[in-house]
Amino acid sequence: MPTTRTHAKGQHHSNYPSQQHPHPHQQQQQQQQQQQQQHDSHSVILVTAGYDHVIRFWEALSGICSRTIQHPDAQVNKLCISPDKQYLAAASNQHVRLYDINSGHPNPIVSFKGHTSNVTAVAFHCEGKWMVTASEDHTLKIWDIRCPDAQRNFDHKAPVNDVVIHPNQGELISCDQNGSIKLWDLGESSCTHELVPEEDVPIRSVTVANDGSSLVAANNKGNCY
């Protein structure tokens, strides 16, 4: 907290140290800490990755790359930041790696293995306790972020291109190369609805409104539904 200083008129300074008058070096440290806190509270960080095998953290307002993480064994297909901004999930070929954003450590804290092909999508539960992944191996998998093994598995009939968690946190919505959009009930562990906007035209991406009232899907022809 900032230090409050008062100065009485006509008062002489004594030779004894006073807590109200910190050493200039301490003042400088306090100012630097305050500036850093202000910077952290106002900064916006973007994270990017791709086929160059490097994850980059960017300060959005300045355009400065503030940090990099090497991802040498495969390209990064998808990134997702947990709702509390603590973790970064990087989806790649056959695995997902979880990084602690605030630690600055380059190594993942957990590596999730279980898919047998490219992981194409990843999404976090609203409280960050678990996440779901989609893969070209025709499956969706649910993971407890504290454990490297998959907790649940859902089978598609084709490579899965995307998955999102419904705002009610009890359903998943996924899409695949066959052109299907599927709604999964986590309580029943089953697919309850299937939509096919256009037969045999891959659906590339899906998203759902924050209030769960509408769903948008895009296919390989550039059409949105």
* CATH superfamily assigned to domain 75-219: YVTN repeat-like/Quinoprotein amine dehydrogenase (2.130.10.10)
| Whole-number average pLDDT of the chain | 86
Among 4-8, 177-181, 215-219, the least confident range: 4-8
State pLDDT tens for residues 187-215. 999 999 999 999 999 999 999 999 999 99
Phi, psi of 39 (to 5 degrees): -65, -45
CB atoms under 10 Å from CB of 128, counted, come to 15
- The domain locations on the chain are 75-219
Using the structure block, give the residue that is written with the tokens 């539960």: 125
Distance CA(119)–CA(169), nearest Å, equals 21
Checking if the pLDDT of 100 tops 60, the result is yes
State pLDDT tens for residues 122-180. 999 999 999 999 999 999 999 999 999 999 999 999 999 999 999 999 999 999 999 99
What sign does the dihedral 190-194-200-205 (CA atoms) show? negative
Q: What is the pLDDT of residue 41?
A: 47
Q: What is the pLDDT of residue 72?
A: 87
Q: What b/e readout covers 190-214, taking b as 16+ CB neighbours within 10 angstroms?
A: ebeeebebeeeebbbebebeeeeee
pTM for the complete prediction?
0.79
Q: What is the pLDDT of residue 12?
A: 40
Taking Cα atoms as reference points, which of 150, 143, 132 lies closest to residue 206? 132
What are the distances in angstroms from CA 225 to CA 105, 137, 150, 202, 218?
A: 42, 25, 32, 13, 6
